[in-house]
Amino acid sequence: MKRTSLPGLLLGIVLALPAMAATIDTVRDGSAEEILLQGFHWNSSRNTEKWYPVLSRMANTIGADGFTAIWMPPPWADQSSWNNGTVSGGGEGYFWHSFEKDGRYGTDAQLRQAAAALNKAGVKVIYDVVPNHMAERDGPSMFVRGSGEWRQDCRPACDEGDAFDKGDPDLNTGNQRVAETFKNEFINLRDNYGAQGLRFDFVRGYAPETVDKWMEAFGSQQFCVGENWKSPNEYPQGDWRHGASWQEVLKDWSDRSHCTVFDFALKERMQNGSIAEWRHGLNGNPDPAWRRIAVTFVDNHDTGYSPGAYGGQHHWPVADALINQAYAYILSSPGTPTVYWAHMYDWQRDELIRRLIKLRKDAGIRADSPIRFHPNYSGLVATTSGSRKALVIALQSDLQQLPQGMQAAALEWDNGAIRIWSIPAEPPQVSVTFHCDNPGAQPGESVFAIGSSLELGAWDPRHAVPLEGSNNRRSSVIQLPAQQQVEWKCMVRRQDSAEIRWQPGPNVSFTSGTANETTGRL
Ligand code: 7SA
Ligand code: CA
């Protein structure tokens, strides 16, 4: 037996410690550089060709297109059918009746083949799982009514969260046997169906702590994402979340489950905000621990359209004209981006998406990569700092070229509505306070900082940075990459005229990171 030296033994123990940690203190986000494909749409279970063989056939393409993981439909048998007046459906996996894998998407054997082909193509398999509720069929069910295993077995309900529909299909995930049964099935998906992660459906219906326990058993180094689609105003009055932001509600769920979350904060801004307000997604949060948990998406099988019957569900679709810009944003910004099957493989957005994925991977962008926004330009302009390169994103912006003017855009799309530059990797960004001392200030004057870098408007008065404060000193904190040689000046513009007064004399120049404040004098 090879003798292990004492240092080697100690090193071995130290390396093993994190895996043995009782509960993890970080989030289960895979490599933190995942690029997720939603591997189905709402009508996939009604597809002419069975869906699992489609996935087997497409596995190498999916891998070659740059996806590192695929969100699979729920693998459990769903023979339901329902019709609520305007639309009908059933069989999609969300109203399953047993853990049998033979369902509308294909057979057990076809599922194993698809999972094996995807794993072989380097694509992690993430199953959609639905532990909140199930359909009952005639004959013995997995769980026994009246035994405390169903929500309605107790008065009032015994359940860890909201009811699905009227609550009659809800299981009591707080019940030991129910939790154990799902734990064993998740391990079965890991060991026999190639699962390296799980997407938890309808997490509003059960406790995040239960998800954390299931993931401990499944394997903490794996990937998990929760679908917590519940707006703050859906929480009862008196619950702290009622008045909170979408981001805070999502972060709370993630903190308690140690899973990532679909970034419904960004989705809500894409639906209701201007493009500049997309910066308020979870993935744009100044705190990397918040960006890291965000699984960004444009649309999915609920919110978006799908090929086939009724055009799918389209509960909350992104405006068609914004879809390309939304993909440009999520694929060049922090978080874990998700691409919807139909956009990629049915509706010919694949060329743009493929190029965006390549830019992201070349730059080495991670879920928690830094991002800084440049509100001194119109539209949405931001710089995401990757480990190998930085990407400058300009959506619906008047930013036509970078300050140096040397860099051609790496990607231009939709007549310039999308521009992305790929620039050399940057040192970590620092905050610098810019002051303009303006003893001669007149009422109705606005004071700006203007200078050489993108953050300072590249010497273009239209993109100078407005400073706030009292008459004789106005300031603003601006984020810049460290070690940059910055040249700048103060500038005054009278509100009622285009007249501009420049700081006299030479530029103020400093190196960012050595000084964390800099002062000009008008
Ligand atoms: O309206 C969209 C947004 O607009 C914005 O302006 C709003 C947002 O707040 C607002 O700011 O979002 C709201 O609406 C969303 C969509 O309804 C809500 C969201 O919370 C709310 O804020 O999202 C909820 O609904 C989604 C579909 C869920 C979310 O988790 C949930 O929060 N998505 C996942 C969950 C399920 C269920 O597992 C799946 O649902 C989704 O694909 C998955 O992604 O037991 C017998 C029985 C009886 O109990 C019933 O009374 C009877 O009606 C059967 C019958 N139930 C059937 C349903 O009526 C029928 O619709 C059931 C058996 O089948 C169907 O349910 C489908 C569901 O329609 C479908 O979306 C379900 C099961 O097949 O599969 C899918
Ligand atoms: Ca429930």
In a domain, 480, yes or no: yes
Asked if pLDDT for residue 18 goes beyond 80, the answer is no
pTM of the model: 0.94
Looking at 227, 368, 426, 455, which residue is catalytic? 227
- Give the ligand 1 atom nearest the CA of 78: 74
Confidence at residue 14, expressed as pLDDT on a 0 to 100 scale: 53
Rg (CA), the chain: 26
Does residue 346 sit in the same domain as residue 404? Answer: no
Task: Verify that 257 and 401 share a domain, yes or no.
Answer: no
Q: Give residue for tokens 């007064």.
A: 501
Distance CA 454, CA 393 (A): 12
Domain limits for position 401 = 371-424
The alpha carbon of 160 and the centre of ligand 2 are apart by a number of angstroms equal to 6
Whichever domain contains 515, its CATH number is: 2.60.40.10
Residues 131 and 198: beta-carbon distance below 8 Å: no
| pLDDT value of position 443 | 78
Beta-strand (E) ranges in 130-208? 195-200
Q: Do 476 and 353 lie in a common domain? A: no
Last residue of a domain, one of 384, 402, 424: 424
Task: Note whether 396 and 271 are same-domain residues.
Answer: no
Query: What pLDDT, on a 0 to 100 scale, did the predictor assign at position 2?
Result: 45
CATH label of the domain that carries residue 217: 3.20.20.80
pLDDT single digits (tens) 131-165: 999 999 887 789 999 999 999 999 989 999 999 99
pLDDT at 380 over 60: yes
Within-domain flag for 168: no
Among 118-132, 237-251, 332-346, 493-507, the minimum mean pLDDT is found in 493-507
Ligand 1 center–CA 197 separation, angstroms: 23
pLDDT tens column, 100-110: 999 999 999 99
Which ligand ends up closest to the CA of 167? 1
The pick from 151, 299, 315 for probing ligand 1's pocket by mutation, whose C-beta has the most ligand atoms within 8 angstroms, reads: 315
Name every protein residue with a CB atom under 6 angstroms from any ligand 1 atom: 80, 82, 84, 90, 92, 94-95, 130, 164-166, 168-169, 201-202, 204, 227, 229-231, 234, 301-302, 313, 315-316
Question: Which pLDDT does position 52 carry in this prediction?
Answer: 99
Question: Nearest 5 degrees, angle CA 273-CA 274-CA 278?
Answer: 70
**Does one domain contain both 317 and 464?**
no
Is 177 within the bounds of a domain? Answer: no
Residues 358, 480, single domain; the answer is no
Q: Which listed ligand is nearest to 168 at the C-alpha?
A: 1
Residue listed under structure tokens 């691409």: 339
Is 187 within a domain? no
- Using the 8-state DSSP alphabet, how is residue 326 labeled? H
Q: Is residue 165 part of a domain?
A: no
User: Is 21 a residue whose pLDDT tops 50?
Assistant: no
For residue 406, report the distance from its CA to the centre of ligand 1, in Å.
51
Average pLDDT over residues 476-487: 95
Same domain, 446 and 417: no
101 lies in the same domain as 223: yes
Q: Band the pLDDT of 11: cuts 50, 70, 90.
A: low
Q: How far is CA 263 from the centre of its chain?
A: 5
Q: Based on the number of CB atoms within 10 Å of its own CB, is 248 exposed (0-12), middle (13-18) or buried (19 or more)?
A: middle
What distance in Å separates the CA atoms of residue 437 and residue 207, rounded to the nearest whole number? 55
CA angle 115, 119, 120 (to 5 degrees): 115
Q: Give the pLDDT confidence score for residue 342 in this predicted structure.
A: 98
CA-nearest residue for atom 1, ligand 1, is: 315
Q: CB neighbours of 179 closer than 8 A, spacing ≥ 6?
A: 173, 210, 213, 214
* Closest-lying ligand 1 atom to the alpha carbon of residue 136: 45
Q: Ligand 1, from 230, 234, 242, 302: best to mutate by most atoms within 8 Å of Cβ?
A: 302
216 in the same domain as 315: yes
- Shared domain check, 332 and 203: yes
Pick the last residue of a domain from 363, 382, 404: 363
Q: Which of 201, 268, 299, 445 is an active site residue? A: 201
Q: 20 pLDDT band (50/70/90 cuts)?
A: very low
Tell me, yes or no, whether 30 lies in a domain: no
Q: Which of 363, 379, 403 is the last residue of a domain?
A: 363
CA of 28 to the centre of ligand 1 (A): 26
CA–centroid distance for 63 within its chain: 20
Percentage, residues of the chain above pLDDT 90 = 87
Distance of CA 256 to the CA centre of its chain: 18
CATH number at residue 385: 2.60.40.1180
439 occurs within a structural domain = yes
Q: Is residue 298 assigned to a domain?
A: yes
167-197 pLDDT per residue, tens: 999 999 999 999 999 999 999 999 999 999 9
DSSP category for residue 94: T
Structure tokens at 50: 């069975």
The structural domain count of the chain equals 3
Please check whether residues 309 and 446 belong to one and the same domain. Answer: no
| 405-446 pLDDT per residue, tens | 678 999 999 999 999 999 999 999 999 999 999 877 787 889
Count other Cβ atoms within 10 Å, centred on residue 240: 11
What angle is formed at CA 287 by the lines to CA 198 and CA 378, rounded to 5 degrees? 105
Q: Is 45 left (phi over 0), alpha (psi -120 to 50) or beta?
A: alpha
**Tokens 């769920």, located at residue:** 253
Length of the chain: 522
Q: Mark whether 408 and 513 lie in a shared domain.
A: no
Q: What is the mean pLDDT of the chain?
A: 94
pLDDT category, 1, cuts 50, 70, 90?
very low
Nearest CA to ligand 1 atom 39: 94
